[in-house]
Each structure stands twice: as C-alpha cells, then as structure tokens.
Structure 1
Amino acid sequence: MKRKQFLKSLALLPLIGSTMHLRDLNKMTSNMSNTGKMPVLFLGHGSPMNAIEENEFVEGFRTIGRSLQKPNAILCVSAHWETRGTFVTAMNNPKTIHDFGGFPQALFDVEYPAPGSPDLALETQKLITKTHVELDHKWGLDHGAWSVIKHLYPNADVPVIQMSIDYSKPGRHHYELAQELNSLRHKGVLIIGSGNMVHNLRKVAWNKLHENYAFEWATEANETMKKHILNGDHQKLIDFKSQGTAFDLAIPTPEHYIPMLYALGLKDENETVRLFNDKAVGGSLTMTSFIAG
C-alpha cells in the first residue's frame, strides 16, 4: 500500500480520530518498514520460578535469544490472559503482572519494564479480520510473557505487546487467526506463543519436581505432538480434543496448549522446526519448546 493511501485509510479509523498528529503517523509508518523475516517461537514456560532460577530451561531460552536478530517488537500470546473476545495491549508502559501466589518474595520483586507499542497494537488490530480486536489499556505483561522474555532480552529494551486468548473459541479459530498476523514477521516482529504442550497441574508428582520424570500418558502425548509438529500434520493438533486419552490428560484445559497453535499457524510450509528444552517436569508437565523459521 502506498504511503498516501495508507495515511488516508488510517484517517478512517475511529480509534485514531483527530488526536493523532502528523508526526505520529510518520512514526507509525517508519516503524512498520519491512525487515528480514523473523522466526516464530513457542516457549514452554513452566513454573514462574523459571524467571529467577538458574536451570537448563532458562539456559535454553538464553541460547535461543542469542541466536536471534534483535526484533523491532514482540507480540506474545500467553496462556495467562484469557478473555471473552480478543484484546491487544496498547499502552506505552505495560505493568509487570505478578499473577501467582505462594512463591518467594524475590519473584514478586521482579519487574520487567519493557515498553509497549501502541503502533503495533493498532497494526495488529488492522490485520485481523477474523474477529473484532479491542485495544486494552489495563492488562500489562503477565508471567507467561515476562518470565521467559526476560531471558531472551534481559535489558527490557524491546517493545512488547500481548494478545489475549478468546476462551470461547475452538482450536481452528486460533490457528487461523494466527495466520492473519504472518506479515508482522516481515516487519521485525518476533511472535511468541507461551504455554506448555502438556500441562496438567492436578496430576503433578510434587515429589519428582526436580527430576526428568513423566507419566506414560504425558510421554505419549508429548511424543505424538512432536511427531505431528515435525511432520507438518497440524490438523490433528488443531483437533486436539479428538486424539484420545493421552491428549485428554495432557490438555485438561486448553489455555496452555493454544499458544502452540498460534506458533504453528504462523509457520510457513517451507520452514523447518527445531525443538529445544524437550523435557518433562513433575510427571505431568513438559517444557518442550520450538523455533520455526
């Protein structure tokens, strides 16, 4: 779209109205200039304690962070922001949300002061036609986002926005919605899904939290998921509710699984997938993560 046409279309958006000055428009268009294509990530975030502990999973996040070119911005779909409808954070300075309990004070003391990006929020809203997207000014960055992004970019110098998960929609909706965001990858935006492929807190073996231990059903589900991911068989992963007992136990509720569908929806057909942090925790959780690009 030519610059003149783009500015004209922006003028029609009621959310911009007469308050946006020419310098704001210039800033928006310059920020959306094309760059090298960014990969897409799915990160198994696990316990909030991964934000402050030193372990192999944290090192896995850091290693991936070092392998990436620095993005212009990050869009994160976190398991911990469920809404009815779809929202994107649009504030300049998102707060660090400590959305958990029962952990050491040191974890509550962590702040991740990354800036937001109202421009990226507006561009995300414009790209999505599958559903109406609301701009949010109240949420911030929950631990599904900051606890892992802080290891990728510890200086908190990359703007971050979050997009919520509409809990009323099926897997196919989320997969197709993700596809509408693909052009952002060509504009320097790193898109991250943050959750866990296998996530059943009710069945955690608390006495094995520090072991690489998985129940048989968790291993079966994780191995099957990985096979479908590597083979590009996304349909079975989209239809996760029809894949048998192991999947039912691995995904008792879908909020930690759905961010993976966003990452798969954003993967182009000719792109390769590389797995990392592929281990189980506490019997009923897996930290399996992947990068596609």
Structure 2
Amino acid sequence: MKLPVLFIGHGSPMNAVEETPYVREWRQLGSSLRSRYGNEIKAVLAVSAHWVGEGSAVTVAAQPQTIHDFYGFPQALFDVRYPAPGSPELAQEVRRLLGKTRVAEDTEWGLDHGAWSVLCHLFPEADVPVVQLRLDARLGFAEHFELGRKLAELRSRGVLIVASGSIIHNLRLLDRNAPDDAGAGYEWAEQVRLWVNRLIAAGDTQTLRNERAYPPEFRLAAPTPEHYWPLLYAAGAAEGDEARIFNDEILGKSLSMTSAVWGMAV
C-alpha cells in the first residue's frame, strides 16, 4: 500500500491551540488517514519550513523534544508538548535514500512548530513516530524537488510524508489590522496562489521545479523561499499522483493556508 503525501499551509503557531476552520480540516484529514490506512502508517517524515541549515540533516533522537521556536505568543502555546517518539531506523533510511554523505545525523533538534502544530491535529495521540528533515539552504528548487522524489519510496514502506510551510508567506506586508481575516489577498498574492494551484492540479512538476518559470510576483509571495521549499518535497514525492487542494485561503492579504494531499481520493 502506498501512503498519500501532504503539504500543509501551517499559518500561525496559534493553530495548535485555537479552534479554526483550518485545524478542523486537519483533524478531519487525520481521521480519514486513520480510517483508511490504520496501522499501515508506521511513521511520519516531517519537512518543515522552520528547520533550515547548511546541508540536509535528520533527527535521530528516540524521543525528540518539542521546540517552541517563536516569541510573543501566549503562555498556553509554550506549554504545548507533542511527545511523539522518534525513529532512528527511519532516519537512517532517509539518509540511505538521499545519500549518507550529504545528510547528517542531528541529535539536538526535535520537532519545531512547523511540524508539531500540524501533527497535534493530524495525530493527536502522538503515537506515530516522527523524524524531521532539515532543509538545505544551498539548494535550488530543482534540487529540493529531486530530494522529494528520492523520498517517494518511503510511501510504500508505511511512511507518511508531511511537508509544512506556506505558498504565500510575506509577513512584512501582512495586514496587521486584520492578520487572521480570510479574504482577498493582495493582487500579487492572488496571482501567485492561482498560478501555483494550477500547476499542482495539473501535475506540472516540470514548471513547479523551474525557478526561472515563476512570475515576477513570486518575489513578493516568497521574499525568502524556506516556506515554499516544503511544497517541492511533497510534489516530488507525489509525482504522478492526483492532488486535492484544501484550506485554499489567504489570511491578512499575504499569508496562505493553501494545502494539498496527493494520492488520496475523496
């Protein structure tokens, strides 16, 4: 059995503790995953926008810590713990697939909020082992996509790939008067959202991984690319599968919640 692939627009860390339409979709998706695949889901490989460095790495801790990599939020958010176990075995398999010489073992990192703020709704019992993959800041779009493609083999081995980021992520231009309000984004944000959505729906991975093909507006949508990179891993791992787009909204005019699941029919 081949498991689906997820890309989740994770938005604010407050989605971990607040009741929003987006987390309701995440919970429903988690319930559907459990009912359809049950114990076939052996582990999760999380690809989060919030772990970036010089070179790829994987977490190898048997019990990864919950990392609160933010500030200025209520204490209730800092109190959250997501005690999912790690999987040193999966970490080594990821290193094998991507090349052990280019993927380091990391004993210090745990699960950052890009991972646990989503997983706490998908798998609230925290009973599925999780390994996190670090994004290599030196790579271009095509190289990130290719790493995702190499990870596709894991889907037939009981590993659910969950990529977490944002297609539109410009916090500098966020409407501070209504940062959580869904509605029409800036014109450039809407253009990029629709353009990327069309590529996802059409399975056009050739264009998706070609940085030169992106419209000029993308520089505003992703002034720094780390939140966009996880989408490329998901698209690479799911190449050839049909996608369903959900939570397709923009908050505060410049932060998208757009998410997709590949290989899981409604």
**TM-score class normalised by the smaller sequence:** over 0.9
Shift in Å, 1:130? 9.0
Q: Note the aligned Cα RMSD (angstroms).
A: 1.2
Shift in Å, 1:274? 0.4
* Distance (whole Å) between structure 2 residues aligned to residue 42 and residue 254 of structure 1: 15
Shift in Å, 1:260? 0.2
- 1:204 equivalent among 157, 174, 189: 174
- 2:47 equivalent among 59, 73, 77: 77
Gaps of 5+ in 2: none
Gaps of 5+ in 1: 1-35
Show the 5 A alignment for 1:235-274.
Answer: 235-240=206-211, 242-269=213-240, 271-274=241-244
Structure-2 residue corresponding to 1:32:
none
Instruction: Report the 3-state secondary structure (helix = DSSP H, G, I; strand = E; otherwise coil) of the residue aligned with 1:274.
Output: strand
Structure-2 residue corresponding to 1:225:
196
Compute the TM-score of the two structures, normalised by the length of structure 2: 0.94
- 2:94 equivalent among 124, 134, 139: 124
1:150-209, CA deviations, whole angstroms, 9 ceiling, x for partnerless residues? 100001000000000000110111100111111110011000110000100110001122
Instruction: Report the 3-state secondary structure (helix = DSSP H, G, I; strand = E; otherwise coil) of the residue aligned with 2:182.
Output: coil
Structure-1 residue corresponding to 2:7:
42
Compute the TM-score of the two structures, normalised by the length of structure 1: 0.85
Matched, 1:67 2:38: no
Question: CA 1:53 to 1:202, structure 2 compared with 1: closer, same or farther past 3 Å?
Answer: same
Instruction: Give the length in aligned residue pairs.
Output: 257
- Check whether the contact 1:42–1:260 (CA below 8 A) recurs between aligned residues: yes
* Distance (whole Å) between structure 1 residues aligned to residue 72 and residue 246 of structure 2: 29
* Distance (whole Å) between structure 2 residues aligned to residue 130 and residue 140 of structure 1: 20
Structure-2 residue corresponding to 1:12:
none
1:76-116, CA deviations, whole angstroms, 9 ceiling, x for partnerless residues? 11000001011000110000000000000000000000000
- 1:155 equivalent among 125, 145, 168: 125
Shift in Å, 1:242? 4.4
- Kindly report structure 1 stretches of 4+ aligned residues shifted beyond 6 Å: none
Q: Which moved more, 1:168-177 or 1:240-249?
A: 240-249
Structure-2 residue corresponding to 1:7:
none
Percent identity over paired residues:
51
* Distance (whole Å) between structure 1 residues aligned to residue 93 and residue 211 of structure 2: 31
